[in-house]
Structures are given as structure tokens and as C-alpha cells.
Amino acid sequence: MFATQKLASQALEAVLGGQTLTDALTRIWRAEPDLRPQQRGAIQDLCYGTLRHFGLLDSTLKQLLNKPLHESALKALLLVCLYQLQFTRAAPYSVVDHAVKVASHTGTGMGKGLVNAILRNFLRQRDDLLNQARTTPYGKWSHQQWWIDAMREAWPQQWENILTANNTHPPLTLRVNQRRGNVAQSMAALQEAGLEARALDDTAIQLRHPVGVDRIPGFFEGLVSVQDWGAQQAARLLDVAPGMRVLDACSAPGGKTGHLLELADLELTAVDADAQRLSRVADNLKRLGLNATLLTGDAGKPADWWDGKLFDRILADVPCSATGVARRHPDIKWLRRSADIVQFAQQQAAMLDALWALVAPGGKLLYATCSVFPAENAVQAAAFAARTPDALRLPVTLESATDGQLLPNPEHDGFYYALFAKHTG
């Protein structure tokens, strides 16, 4: 447990300093190449859990301190340990004992007594401390106040459910490759492997308990892919047919790219500004046995990569706040700022205008985000329709969606879709 606590605390400290959790963990994996898969998984679990419940844990820690703790490494360690004591089955004596040892190697090395006292006081006063922490929105919902306020304004009936969903473990959903099989076959294979699951529709299967892909039958053979049910709706809504020329803008990591190609034989181009992330698209297509033209480029600047031929379909899966997938990336709740939403909206509008010029007459463009903020979604789509005379807004009909907006719930993450057709006249 010593190494797990120590490295999880280091990752959390990096996030509190403004680094993404993905980057923080990547740095640790490079520095500690001998970590076993189980150790990596345990470190990830501690980081994800602490960040999901950060507001509650931070509010609790503040009550236990006589004065603000300025040593960031010790603060991160204490938050990780409070998460262990409250939300895991780890033996309390073991958590405290290892934390004291980690503290002796952390920061100035003078925090052993403080860590021991704080954690033991928490164990003695746990219920009172947690109840007091939950009296504030920050402690109750574990989101920044601006985010809570924005959700309350945008979704007055659903905001509590949205915030609650963001603090849960995300579901693991599979997409069955219809070129290679069907839901019944995949369900049978999962049952044989001892994995409980249920079908959500004719291509999606949700596992009762998430597992690594190495335990999912047919994954490495390309029979199934991991993709949230909400994300699976993009390829369906785009309504592709064999022979169409299709653009997947901002395509990495390639889940929607693969799905489009599973639905029909297409002349598909996948573009992404990040060459490293584009390599993940290549890996996904290789696993599925599918092919596409992969281009590194800014989707908002097609003059740098476009060959001049119009597309029948464009998937504009634009950069966004990712607030609809916060439970998969809980660091977003603490790194995102309200000003970011305005900046994303400006970038999205410019990208929409640039990509619309690439749509052939009679063609369609699907605008997609994994956000729950109207400024990036309904407001953005309405503004585009208003300023674009040859864009016809088409209805988006999805179960549990409102005006194309899927909100996070136990079955899927938060996504937004708006579909436009270009007039032929």
C-alpha cells in the first residue's frame, strides 16, 4: 500500500497544480516502469475516487486542520487517505500506518505527526465531520460552485441527477461489430466468460461490472468495441450508405470512426489535430480490420488538408468542455473554468462554419459534443442555423434525449447532437 498511496498522492498533487490526470499518470508510469498492472489499477482507482469526491473530502480536511495546509504534497496524501478510509475496504490501521511512512518521505518530511493526528481524528469524528461537510454545496455535490450554479440554471428539474451521476462510476458498454456478429452471440460469449451483462439495443451491451478489455471475449478480434451508448448514436444519426464520401472531423480516439465503417463501406477520411492521438484511430481500425484515410490537421482549417472534394456526410465531433463525461474524467470537475465554456463555444462556431463549406448539396453534417452546457449545444446549434441560410435543421430523435441532449444517467454519458442538411438549390 505504501507505493500505491505515495504515487496516487503524487498524481493528485499534479492535478491540483493544474495538470490533467491522464498526463500525471502517464508521467508516473514512465518513471515507474516496473509497476504491476494491479498496482497501476490501484493507483488509478485512488486518484479517480479522490477526485470524484474531492469537494466532500476537502471540506472534511479543512475541519481537521487548525490552519491552512500549504504543503501540497501532504494535502494530496491526506485527501487520498481520507478517500481510502471513507470509500474503500482498506483496513484503517493499515491506511494510517502507511500514510505516516509516506509522509516521512513527502515534502519536508516533517508531517508524520500531523498525518497521524489528522487521520485518527477523522476516524473518531467521522460522522460529524462528513455531515458538516455536506451542509455546503461544495461538500455535498463535489463540484465547483460555478458548475453547480450553471447546472441549476440550465436544467432546473434535472441538475441534482446530473451532479449525482458525475460522482458515480461510469458504465462499461460494448458496441457489437455488426459486420462480424450480433448481440445474441456476444451475450452468449460474455455469459460463457462469467460476465453479467444486458442488451441496451440491437448493438449495445452494458456489463454489470466493468472489467479490463483482456477479459472481454472478442475484443482483440474486433468483434466488439468499448463505446458508451450515447456515443454510439453518432454514427446512426449520420445515416451513411455504401459508397458515400464521409469526413470524421476531430476523430481521435476513433470509436465513431470505426462504428461508421462497420455500418457501411465508405470512402472515409478521419482528421485530428494531434498526431499521437490519431495513431489511436489507426490502432482501433487495425483491430477492427477496417481502413480509412487518416490526416493530421486542424478541422477548423480545412485548407491545410482538404483535397477539394465535397463530402456526403460530416461528423463534426468538436472540441468541448467534456462536462458530459466528467465521471470518466473526474479531474475535469476541478480543472475546468467557467471562461472555458465561452472559449469552446467560439472555437465550435468557427469549426462549424469551416466544415459546412465541405458538405455537398443534399449532404448532412452532424454536430456533436460530450457537453451538458447549452452554450456549447442548443444555443450553438440555433445560432448556426440562424446564420446559415442553406442549412436545414433536421429532427434528432433519441430515447431519453431532449432536443438532441442526452444527460448522464446510469445507462449513458452526456452528449449533444444536432443534424443539418444542405439545401440542393
Catalytic residues: 370
Please say whether the beta carbons of 220 and 189 come within 8 A.
no
Using CA atoms, how far apart are residues 291 and 118, in angstroms rounded to an integer? 56
Using CA atoms, how far apart are residues 205 and 225, in angstroms rounded to an integer? 10
Using CA atoms, how far apart are residues 376 and 384, in angstroms rounded to an integer? 11
Instruction: Give the number of other Cβ atoms within 10 Å of residue 250's Cβ.
Output: 23
- Main-chain phi, psi angles of 135, to 5 degrees: -80, -10
As a whole number of Å, the end-to-end CA separation of the chain is 67
Considering just the CA atoms, what is the radius of gyration of the chain in Å?
A: 23
Q: Which residues contact 237 (CB under 8 A, 6 or more apart)?
A: 366, 396, 398, 417, 419
Burial-class residue 245 by CB neighbours within 10 Å (0-12, 13-18, 19+): middle
**Maximum Cα–Cα distance across the chain:** 77
Using CA atoms, how far apart are residues 388 and 278, in angstroms rounded to an integer? 31
Per-residue buried b or exposed e for 14-47, using 16+ beta carbons within 10 Å of the residue's own CB: bbbeebebeebbeebeeeeeebeeeebebbebbb
